[in-house]
Chains A and B, each alone.
Chain A
């Protein structure tokens, strides 16, 4: 009865008392029991919930294991925090709990969110529900896998540059990266502070809008959140709107043919739906890679300095090799005499990329592009690529660097390997309602070519 039901429909069932919170939570716990070992998507399953007769309505959701959850172990998939039980709640999870959510469990990620495959996790890689020999993407790979295999009706992830959109694309679900500053980072274990954005991974556009409304908005604990009013995304996405959609050659360079095909297929559909497609010029995403690499490494080296062995049990020898590499590189680019050449220069280019988007967004409302250049890779393949993450996330990085909002949704499967294809929409700063609106229109028109439903079929009750 519940299989494949969206978060919003579960809420309705609970509200109408057609089902109890206990039944819903037990349902998912049972599915987790059945499939998690195979997927290694949850690191911690929360079995602590005590049901009472007059219990409040509770809807389950999965949380990436880099959000601090009070009294629930939070590791960031690193052995450094192997036994860290936070004494406080992140703003995102606090807002969800206040809105009747129940934290079903904590999902796997690349250690410290450093990676795009979930393979750098100190607790083993997560498997792609579409093909267990492949990676679900990362770093929010655990969150993507639990949604795509329906071990949770929705999940929270975090994106620094691609970490929500890329695993959503590879795992065949919807992933929303809100504008930087739209959602509080308080309690999110910092990766690169000037880039980190929490966001939802869901089965439907409605669910993404519904969750964003809850977690977005000014937070007095995060000085980088803004005062802007949070629109009612849930109703906004249903407004009948026509958009001018930009497309650019720069985002198709080196992209897999089948993904390009899906991209052009959607363009035709969008035109038929009455939207206007407009060719635009954007800076090549390769500049975003260089900027991202410098800024992210610098901030990582700083953010990980607190794990000095004095306070969290395990010392610095517990850092994995990827974290060590990033710390070294970050410390280097910030060191005296190199700061201007690297960090400062990167910030200047970052400003150029922002200006580039500002210019383009005067001409178009949204930008459509593939989310990733290729579909899911086999586990272990990432080792062949130095800067693997940067390459896999190349198309996601400009949006991350400039802080704009973006959403990835599935659009068909590759014929070759039957793997999900992800496309993305990028929108102006704080205009999540527009990218959600068009995604909702695409969903109504095409049902994402059946990808999400087919994915769940592989995981019967």
Chain B
């Protein structure tokens, strides 16, 4: 018996949230707009219309390329990718073929302690245009071109994953990163982030026949074979997945399905499968007998992109989530788990930092003695004790308010204590007999009556005073 090793690679499409489309002046934000209202001759592919590339989209592709540690190519170009589909108005998509803007990067997946668990290589990142949308109805199929021409980046990883948990974690981290860069909402449900895992399974056999050794030489032991980096000669691409959870489900299902086929001595077929989220299974969509021929050639309407090194250098990365996390822990002294939460969302971290920088000079007002005020602010944000919707000043005022030692209405307190003691004679007696715990019950009762407008420590002292009189 052999063992099985899943091999998974990802293709991730992310729509950029530039204000205009990739090759024309139309608004890129098509969400919820009436069909075919965000269109012009260019994105409709009218006769004679020409594409003019969006500089911002190119800049953002370089930015994500840098964030994923890619090499940014000084020379890049657009190519035409031909295929026929009704949502593709020109009969080709303007994409990038052999000279993408960014390539050869890497991205680290971390475990729950944020230790680097695995490095995933990024093969390439290229820029292209989105297609229109088909709307199927009883009376036929309608086409909405509002989405046609929206800038889209494609991130392709090497097949470096061997389990669905790593894939999920990678995608979550990638999503955080993309949102940090502010280049996309990367929303799976809205379709601004889409992904297609490519899954195959390698059978690791100890002896005898094996599936994909090209030569007839039989490989005699597992060790030797597992050093062999050959990929299985099929892969299954799964489409139409719109949540991270479903990606995991689809991959797990595929691995199981493919292993069963391999166990029966067959080879799973190379195909594209869809994902049925209700049943949690994949189903065949189309079989790829051969690689499609897209007849790529350089887009003659757009001159090649030649980036000056100064230009590439001028595109600066913001502090990335992992860097921020480290800083929060080491410089701010914030607990790792809290720092992790705060750095998941750039806006939240910026809000947090704005507060601590403003509050620095007002620490005395916080009455916190030797505690780390940064940790306290973090607690208030994370526990949602104070809304982060407030302005910075409002938040700080509320915080000061919250931390202020409570002013107690002494007269009321004494009245309440008297009342509580009277009604709970047994507890008073118990306490007097030495059951010190009984006092906690009395404190609780008083606190309840005071509706939080007292401090437990003070109440206890007062009760003790009265009983001991």
Binding site for B on A (CB under 8 A): 66-68, 74, 76, 81, 84, 86-88, 90, 185-190, 192-194, 220-224, 298-299, 301-302, 304-308, 310-312, 331, 334-336, 339, 343
Given A298-B297, A336-B293, also A74-B47 (CB < 8 A): yes
B53 touches A186 (CB 8 A): no
| CB of B25 to closest CB in A, whole Å | 9
A306 touches B91 (CB 8 A): yes
Given A224-B303, A339-B297, also A311-B50 (CB < 8 A): no
Residues of A within 8 A of B295 (CB): 301-302, 331, 334-336, 339
A86 touches B90 (CB 8 A): no
| CB of B23 to closest CB in A, whole Å | 9
Instruction: Verify if B147 is at the interface (C-beta below 8 Å from A).
Output: no
Residues of A within 8 A of B45 (CB): 306
B279-305, CB under 8 A of A: which get 1 and which 0?
000000000000101011100111100
Residues of B within 8 A of A81 (CB): 47
Residues of B within 8 A of A189 (CB): 47-48
Most A Cβ at <10 Å: residue of B48, B84, B296, B300: B48
A311 touches B89 (CB 8 A): yes
Residues of A within 8 A of B92 (CB): 302, 305
Cα A76 to Cα B86 in complex, Å, equals 23
Q: Which of B48, B89, B296, B297 contacts A190 (CB 8 A)?
A: B48
Residues of A within 8 A of B41 (CB): 68, 86-88, 187
Instruction: Verify if B46 is at the interface (C-beta below 8 Å from A).
Output: yes
| CB of B130 to closest CB in A, whole Å | 17
Residues of A within 8 A of B40 (CB): 88
With A66-B48, A306-B91 known, 8 other A-B pairs at CB within 8 A are A74-B47, A186-B49, A221-B50, A222-B301, A298-B297, A301-B295, A302-B80, A305-B92
Cα A335 to Cα B296 in complex, Å, equals 8
Cα A336 to Cα B291 in complex, Å, equals 10
Cα A160 to Cα B178 in complex, Å, equals 44
Cα A220 to Cα B23 in complex, Å, equals 11
Residue on A nearest B84 in the bound complex, by CB: A308
Residues of A within 8 A of B168 (CB): none
| CB of B410 to closest CB in A, whole Å | 77
Instruction: Verify if B232 is at the interface (C-beta below 8 Å from A).
Output: no
B24-53, CB under 8 A of A: which get 1 and which 0?
000000000000000011100111111111
B301 touches A224 (CB 8 A): yes
Cα A90 to Cα B41 in complex, Å, equals 11
Cα A86 to Cα B40 in complex, Å, equals 12
Given A302-B80, A308-B91, A310-B86, also A67-B48 (CB < 8 A): yes
Please give me the 4 A-B residue pairs with the lowest Cβ-Cβ distance, nearest first: A305-B91, A194-B300, A334-B295, A193-B300
| CB of A186 to closest CB in B, whole Å | 5
Residues of A within 8 A of B80 (CB): 302
A302 touches B50 (CB 8 A): no
Q: Which of B46, B52, B303 contacts A86 (CB 8 A)?
A: B46
Q: Which of A86, A90, A192, A302 contacts B91 (CB 8 A)?
A: A302
Instruction: Verify if B82 is at the interface (C-beta below 8 Å from A).
Output: yes
| CB of B83 to closest CB in A, whole Å | 9
Q: Which of A86, A311, A334 contacts B297 (CB 8 A)?
A: A334
Q: Please, could you name 26 A-B residue pairs with CB atoms under 8 Å apart, sorted by A? A: A74-B47, A84-B47, A86-B41, A186-B48, A187-B48, A189-B47, A189-B48, A190-B47, A193-B300, A223-B52, A224-B50, A224-B300, A224-B301, A224-B303, A298-B297, A299-B300, A302-B80, A302-B82, A306-B47, A306-B90, A308-B84, A311-B89, A331-B295, A334-B295, A335-B293, A339-B297
B50 touches A223 (CB 8 A): yes
A223 touches B301 (CB 8 A): yes
Residue on A nearest B301 in the bound complex, by CB: A193
Residues of B within 8 A of A223 (CB): 50-53, 301-303
Binding site for A on B (CB under 8 A): 40-42, 45-53, 80, 82, 84, 86, 89-92, 143, 291, 293, 295-297, 300-303
Residues of A within 8 A of B297 (CB): 298, 302, 334, 339, 343
Cα A242 to Cα B42 in complex, Å, equals 45
Cα A284 to Cα B348 in complex, Å, equals 68
Residues of A within 8 A of B296 (CB): 334, 339
Cα A188 to Cα B51 in complex, Å, equals 13
Most B Cβ at <10 Å: residue of A88, A223, A301, A307: A223
Cα A74 to Cα B47 in complex, Å, equals 10
Given A224-B303, A302-B297, also A76-B47 (CB < 8 A): yes
Cα A132 to Cα B446 in complex, Å, equals 114
Given A302-B80, A302-B91, A343-B297, also A222-B52 (CB < 8 A): yes
Q: Which of B47, B51, B86 contacts A68 (CB 8 A)?
A: B47
| CB of B100 to closest CB in A, whole Å | 18
Residues of B within 8 A of A194 (CB): 300
Given A305-B82, A335-B295, also A90-B48 (CB < 8 A): yes
Residue on B nearest A220 in the bound complex, by CB: B52
Cα A190 to Cα B45 in complex, Å, equals 11
Residue on A nearest B41 in the bound complex, by CB: A88
Residues of B within 8 A of A334 (CB): 82, 295-297
| CB of A103 to closest CB in B, whole Å | 15
Residue on A nearest B299 in the bound complex, by CB: A193
Cα A251 to Cα B371 in complex, Å, equals 91
B84 touches A305 (CB 8 A): yes
B90 touches A305 (CB 8 A): yes
| CB of A87 to closest CB in B, whole Å | 7
| CB of A401 to closest CB in B, whole Å | 13
Cα A405 to Cα B131 in complex, Å, equals 38
Q: Which of A188, A307, A308 contacts B48 (CB 8 A)?
A: A188
Cα A311 to Cα B82 in complex, Å, equals 18
Cα A277 to Cα B226 in complex, Å, equals 74
Residues of A within 8 A of B52 (CB): 220-223
Cα A343 to Cα B143 in complex, Å, equals 34
Cα A304 to Cα B45 in complex, Å, equals 11
Cα A186 to Cα B311 in complex, Å, equals 29
Residues of B within 8 A of A90 (CB): 48
Cα A105 to Cα B331 in complex, Å, equals 75
